[in-house]
């Protein structure tokens, strides 16, 4: 929760300062902890980074237009670079591909396993 507060706060400050100077920046977080699924959580979390990764890495690599094998490679490369963007430590290098595998499973409609895939808000105690 602290990392969300930190990210969201500095994003909100940047957006507000930009508005004072006449610039309009896109929203970066959309209440991710109110999500009901892990997929929805990632759609709401750090939206500008997600769009940048999609528009400037995933789509230029070919996206999902070159078959399932190439789609998976494109997804892995994009998320690996997203992990490296977060920091040059092994935990971030591992985080990227792990996120790619989880996202790929969710996009294929694979059955989630374990309590970590329960509706996120309920799992975090934010909704009854």
Catalytic residues: 86
- The answer to whether 77 touches 57, Cβ cutoff 8 Å, is yes
Residue 82: other Cβ atoms inside 10 A: 22
CA dist 105 and 32 (Å) reads 20
CA dist 53 and 18 (Å) reads 23
Separation of first and last alpha carbons in the chain = 19
Q: Check residue 115 and report its DSSP letter.
A: G
């Amino acid at each position: 929760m602290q990392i969300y507060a930190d990210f969201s706060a500095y994003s909100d400050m940047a957006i507000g300062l930009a508005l004072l100077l006449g610039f309009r920046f896109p929203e970066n977080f959309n209440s991710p902890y109110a999500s009901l699924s892990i997929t929805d959580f990632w759609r709401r979390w750090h939206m500008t980074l997600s769009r940048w990764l999609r528009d400037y890495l995933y789509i230029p690599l070919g996206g999902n237009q070159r078959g399932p094998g190439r789609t998976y490679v494109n997804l892995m490369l994009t998320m690996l670079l997203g992990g490296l963007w977060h920091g040059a430590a092994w935990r971030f290098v591992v985080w990227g591909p792990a996120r790619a595998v989880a996202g790929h499973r969710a996009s294929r409609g694979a059955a989630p396993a374990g309590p970590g895939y329960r509706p996120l808000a309920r799992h975090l105690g934010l909704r009854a």
